[in-house]
Structure 1
Amino acid sequence: MDIYYRSGDGLKLYAKSYGPDDAPVTALCMHGLTRNHKDFEPMINALLESGTNVRFIAVDVRGRGLSERDTNPVNYSPAIYAQDMIALLDHLEIETVKLVGTSMGGLMSMVLMTMIPHRIEGVVLNDIGPVLQKEGLDRIQNYVGGTLQKDNWEAAAKAVEDVQGSAFPDYTHEDWIAFARRTYRELDDGRVELDYDPEISRTVKDVRPNIFTNMAMWKLFKAMKPVPLLLVRGEISDLLSDKNARKMVRKHGNAELVTVPRVGHTPLLDEPVVQGALRPFLEQGAS
């Protein structure tokens, strides 16, 4: 089901609902920097096919997919995105949710835990944490904003593989085509382009982590302690180190770490090892 709603500053935003509306648990799925709601369809399809009784709401953050682009690029920030998520929950009259946050969506989850902790029942963080590894951050900063049009889907798949190939060494040509179709959109003339506003690059290119930002991020992470945490990490991730992932689990106290073999930043969450942990985590506490 398509969902359209308004942000506090008047943007027309989009989300999509999957699964039964009357399910006992709602999972709010928030994508990474350059992705959109389709990024969660492999995960959602696998869970629903297995009989998971959860309603999934996957969003297009402002400036991505079917959500309106912001004329002020300063608003492309996790704090503003978090406010948009609250507007969505209020629009749908949803009292409590579990959060599934991939990369940037995980940062949004941390922010939301400081804003509406009473409405959050659990959090899934996908390959993100308080400390961002320089290698991964540099890679993301180098490719974000590069939205040159491609002649066709084959060219788009090749472009995606060039950027993401090291993170998914076992992907086939069909996998890259599917990846492209989740991240590009087709234009009227048959060409395709990445499905986001290139202006989102402005804020991320200014990110320069240091000891003070790391301390602030660990403090933000501490706000997540009241709810259960499922942390997913790609075994060859260049953004979240194994050391920091294990530190997060220790500091949280009620967390589980799932590592996805031979996958980098970020797992799609449809991997069997993730599905085995994700279904009971989302269904826990459902009446």
Structure 2
Amino acid sequence: MSSNPGFSDFFYAAPDGLRLHARVYGEANSAHWPVVCLPGLTRNARDFHELALYLSTRSAFARKVIAFDYRGRGQSAYDPDVSHYNVGVEAGDILAGLTALGIKQAAFIGTSRGGLIIHVLGAMQPAALKAIVLNDIGPVIEPAGLDHIRAYLDPTPRPKSRAETVDALRDTHSSDFPALASADWERMASALYRETDQGLMPDFDPRLVETLAALDLSKKLPDLWAQFEALAVMPMLVIRGASSRLFSVETLEEMKKRHPNLEAITVEGQGHAPFLETGSLPVAVAAFLDRAERQISGK
């Protein structure tokens, strides 16, 4: 890591005392809404690095950006109780982090599980959310998508070299992400894995896979339509990977019906979940946030 990575590390205590971590970009930026970035199930704050740099330094409205590591991911401590790896507990952790940072309101970007947490936050503390970006997630989760995730996480792969790691990621995901270039796979490896004495290892608590193993995918999964409708009063951008197995076209169309002002982008050549730093997505996300802030705040 360079001496000036563009962010500072922030550690805070969860409501149950667990030590948690977030990255803070553009700490001095205060003229516009801050942005909170919430990653997927096994992902971490590094997923948002390029987008966070753009929003905090290159966007017309330079923003403070906070990217969280959930408990058991990245630099946050592992939880001895695996049952605490759930969206309700994690939503409480995010609120605790925002309180520790002195942030009362923000725009939220949620990838996959992060989007589910946004739905829960909308029920817990709706005043905290000013605008929402959902990355390949909605109120309905397709069982086939969860089954695919469960299949490639169990057993958790442990390649030892960087080249093996990149090759394994490409072999597993290339059919869903034909648009990705070599540099994208390299960034994916850097975001997902950490250096150890034994080589590269997945940067999450291996027991996370237990939370998926317990799901009965032969039964209908609970939906979040009631929570989504509570969010429908807020500016919202929904991004869907054209090859996504988790987030269906039908769910997106129903979201549009229930949120008439919803904006949507379909990312060709990508699946679950689109890389937010690729193509025109950083510009599109920044422009959406700027429009939403002008609309609500008149800035």
The residue number in structure 2 matching 1:163 is 172
The residue number in structure 1 matching 2:96 is 87
Q: Contact 1:222–1:252 (CA<8 Å) still a contact in 2?
A: yes
Deviations 1:172-192 (A, max 9, x none): 333222210111001024x11
Provide the rounded CA distance (Å) in 2 between the counterparts of 1:224 and 1:97: 14
Q: Which of residues 259, 266, 270 in structure 1 aligns to 2:273?
A: 266
Deviations 1:206-246 (A, max 9, x none): 334645723xx212222212211110101111111112112
Q: Contact 2:146–2:246 (CA<8 Å) still a contact in 1?
A: yes
Q: Contact 2:110–2:135 (CA<8 Å) still a contact in 1?
A: yes
Name the CA shift for 1:206/1:222 in 2 (closer, same or farther; >3 Å).
farther
Pairwise CA distance, 1:25: 1.1
Provide the rounded CA distance (Å) in 2 between the counterparts of 1:185 and 1:52: 32
Q: Which of residues 131, 147, 153 in structure 2 aligns to 1:138?
A: 147
After TM superposition, list the pairs within 5 Å mapping 1:40-51 onto structure 2.
Answer: 40-47=48-55, 48-51=57-60
Provide the rounded CA distance (Å) in 2 between the counterparts of 1:121 and 1:225: 12
Deviations 1:44-88 (A, max 9, x none): 234433444111100111100100000000000000000000000
Deviations 1:116-166 (A, max 9, x none): 101110111000112112221110111225334322111111121122212
SS of the equivalent of 2:75 reads: coil
The one-letter code sitting in structure 1 at the alignment partner of 2:267 is V
Provide the rounded CA distance (Å) in 1 between the counterparts of 2:26 and 2:85: 29
Q: Contact 1:42–1:268 (CA<8 Å) still a contact in 2?
A: no
Name the CA shift for 1:270/1:173 in 2 (closer, same or farther; >3 Å).
closer
Provide the rounded CA distance (Å) in 2 between the counterparts of 1:57 and 1:196: 19
The one-letter code sitting in structure 2 at the alignment partner of 1:158 is D
The residue number in structure 1 matching 2:232 is 225
Pairwise CA distance, 1:20: 4.2
The residue number in structure 2 matching 1:199 is 207
The residue number in structure 1 matching 2:3 is none
Deviations 1:26-58 (A, max 9, x none): 111000011100101122234433444111100
Give me the identity figure in percent.
35
When normalised by structure 2's length, the TM-score is 0.89
Gaps of 5+ in 1: none
Provide the rounded CA distance (Å) in 1 between the counterparts of 2:15 and 2:154: 26
Gaps of 5+ in 2: 1-7
SS of the equivalent of 1:167 reads: coil
The one-letter code sitting in structure 2 at the alignment partner of 1:105 is G
Q: Contact 1:28–1:99 (CA<8 Å) still a contact in 2?
A: yes
Provide the rounded CA distance (Å) in 1 between the counterparts of 2:275 and 2:53: 12
The residue number in structure 1 matching 2:185 is 176
Pairwise CA distance, 1:7: 0.2
SS of the equivalent of 1:135 reads: helix
The residue number in structure 2 matching 1:34 is 42
The one-letter code sitting in structure 2 at the alignment partner of 1:17 is V
The residue number in structure 1 matching 2:132 is 123
Of 136-145 and 115-124, more deviation after overlay is shown by 136-145
RMSD after superposition: 1.7
Does 2:70 match 1:61? yes
SS of the equivalent of 1:198 reads: coil
Q: Contact 2:180–2:270 (CA<8 Å) still a contact in 1?
A: no
After TM superposition, list the pairs within 5 Å mapping 1:10-21 onto structure 2.
Answer: 10-21=17-28
The residue number in structure 1 matching 2:10 is 3
After TM superposition, list the pairs within 5 Å mapping 1:204-215 onto structure 2.
Answer: 204-208=212-216, 210-211=219-220, 213-214=222-223
Q: Which of residues 81, 84, 91 in structure 2 aligns to 1:72?
A: 81
Pairwise CA distance, 1:273: 3.9
Provide the rounded CA distance (Å) in 2 between the counterparts of 1:221 and 1:202: 27
When normalised by structure 1's length, the TM-score is 0.93
Provide the rounded CA distance (Å) in 2 between the counterparts of 1:22 and 1:273: 23
Provide the rounded CA distance (Å) in 1 between the counterparts of 2:87 and 2:261: 25
Q: Contact 1:258–1:273 (CA<8 Å) still a contact in 2?
A: no
The one-letter code sitting in structure 2 at the alignment partner of 1:256 is E
